[in-house]
Amino acid sequence: MSEPRSNLGVGLLALIPIACCIGLPLIAAAGISVALAAWVGGLAFAALVLVVAVAVLVLRTRRHRNDRHPSILRTRS
């Protein structure tokens, strides 16, 4: 029973093409999905930055308008 099995290597050799046929498409799909997730994440981040920038500009404009003093004071006698 302590004899090494020589036919075990042939069986494993036969499993390599099956593993490659299953594994390579999975690896490719994982790479595509990671790239897609990074692209979508970049778009979402850019949209968030745009919304924050617009909000800051609107708030600064409102604050600037409220701080303005009227240039002509109307007084009635």
20-74 pLDDT per residue, tens: 777 777 878 888 888 888 899 999 999 999 999 999 999 988 887 776 655 555 5
| pLDDT score at 30 | 84
pLDDT of residue 54: 95
Every domain of the chain and the residues it spans: 12-66
**19-26 contacts at long range (C-beta below 8 A, 24 or more positions apart):** none
> Residue 26: what pLDDT?
80
